[in-house]
Structure 1
Amino acid sequence: MMEAKLLIQETTVVVFVLGGPGSGKGTQCPKIVEHFGFTHLCAGDLLQAEIESESENGTMIHNFKKEGKIVPSEITVKLLQQAMQQSDNNRFIIDGFPRNEENRAAFENIVKIKPEFVLFFDCPEEELTRRILNRNQGRVDDNIETIGKRLKVYFESTLPVINYYNSKGKVQKIDAQRSVNEVFEDVKSVFAKFKPVVRVDSTK
């Protein structure tokens, strides 16, 4: 691999997308991709893909998850870095990351990029619980007890990251309690400086 390929361009733009489970990140990210030409990276999806590839790294990630342990930040960050290096785009939204302070520090140390801003979908706990219960009837991880645990992790681990970036003036807070279209109108205002892209269909 050429050395140049290992470097992420200085013009690269990264936006972290954060919010509790059920806050609408998964609905809004594809709209940002379509409208503003960003590439959508999801740390969870990259970890899952690595597990399915059955690489040595994938086996290690699988074992961490099986034991209920958090995958070390360095592994997650390097997967994100690799995905960015392999993309021909230089605009990225990273969904559901950083989940904690360790993730945040590892990303800045390894990738050497600070986010342009953090898109924060703000939604109260009761509304998040209601949405998760409604959206996936019958899913194992969507019972009240498990939802409570997921929300606890979010409030204890991810909110400090949002507060950190807020202290740096980098958080764009969106009221996520409204309809999908109303929320996206606010999102569009936040991304207004990135001109909407006209994409040419490059069918391979």
Structure 2
Amino acid sequence: MSLRFLLCPQETVLDMLRDAMMAKVDTSKGFLIDGYPREVQQGEEFEQRIGQPTLLLYVDAGPETMTKRLLKRGETSGRVDDNEETIKKRLDTYYKATEPVITFYEKRGIVRKVNAEGSVDSVFSQVCTHLDALK
């Protein structure tokens, strides 16, 4: 059996994000969008349709650490794509797409890097520091 994973159209993603954000805008301190944008074009479209982000948290870990964590996740997630071969391909795609996104937002001065090689507590502390600086 072959499984195909299809991505949602960009317009649909942005409509869903906008609708969810608008539904909570009166009671929210802000929004944290995980794993987005994955490409510069997505970021540009987000800004045109929704608004400019205040901060981009770049949670960075090396490929060995990410592979190890994804393989560990695969033990309990039931995801068929959490295997070494697929993870390597996903990481290659991730690095090719992510570097231009980081550069795009670094030029705007909103990137804050989090070293994710450490413990969960260390990563959490770094994230909190960056988010607290927005207050």
State the TM-score bracket (shorter-chain normalisation): 0.7 to 0.9
- Aligned partners of 1:184, 1:67: CA distance in 2, in Å? 34
Please tell me whether the aligned partners of residues 99 and 157 of structure 1 are also in contact (alpha carbons under 8 angstroms): yes
AA aligned to 1:72 is P
- Aligned partners of 1:170, 1:129: CA distance in 2, in Å? 27
- Aligned partners of 1:148, 1:122: CA distance in 2, in Å? 16
The list of structure 1 runs, each at least 4 consecutive aligned residues, that deviate by more than 6 angstroms after superposition, is: none
Give unpaired runs (5+ residues) of structure 2: none
AA aligned to 2:100 is P
Kindly state the Cα deviation for residue 68 of structure 1 after the two structures are TM-superposed. 4.9
Kindly state the Cα deviation for residue 193 of structure 1 after the two structures are TM-superposed. 3.2
Alignment of 1:119 onto 2:57: yes
Structure with bigger gyration radius: 1
TM-aligned CA distance change 1:168 to 1:194, over 3 Å = closer
Please tell me whether the aligned partners of residues 73 and 102 of structure 1 are also in contact (alpha carbons under 8 angstroms): no
Alignment match, 1:154: 94
Alignment match, 1:176: 116
- Of 102, 107, 112, which aligns to 1:167? 107
Paired residues, number: 129
Percentage of matched positions with identical amino acids: 38
TM-score w.r.t. the length of structure 1 is 0.58
Kindly state the Cα deviation for residue 90 of structure 1 after the two structures are TM-superposed. 4.5
Kindly state the Cα deviation for residue 121 of structure 1 after the two structures are TM-superposed. 0.5
TM-score w.r.t. the length of structure 2 is 0.85
Give unpaired runs (5+ residues) of structure 1: 1-65, 196-204
Alignment match, 1:32: none
- Aligned partners of 1:180, 1:68: CA distance in 2, in Å? 30
Q: Is the partner of 2:33 in helix, strand or coil?
A: strand
Please tell me whether the aligned partners of residues 108 and 114 of structure 1 are also in contact (alpha carbons under 8 angstroms): yes
Alignment of 1:97 onto 2:36: yes
AA aligned to 2:33 is I
AA aligned to 2:31 is F
Alignment match, 2:16: 79
Kindly state the Cα deviation for residue 67 of structure 1 after the two structures are TM-superposed. 6.2
Kindly state the Cα deviation for residue 130 of structure 1 after the two structures are TM-superposed. 1.2
RMSD of aligned alpha carbons: 1.9
Please tell me whether the aligned partners of residues 117 and 172 of structure 1 are also in contact (alpha carbons under 8 angstroms): yes
- Aligned partners of 1:193, 1:168: CA distance in 2, in Å? 17
- Aligned partners of 2:107, 2:93: CA distance in 1, in Å? 21
Please tell me whether the aligned partners of residues 120 and 171 of structure 1 are also in contact (alpha carbons under 8 angstroms): yes
Structure number with greater CO (CA < 8 Å, separation at least 6) is 1
Deviations 1:38-83 (A, max 9, x none): xxxxxxxxxxxxxxxxxxxxxxxxxxxx865543322211110000
- Aligned partners of 1:78, 1:159: CA distance in 2, in Å? 26
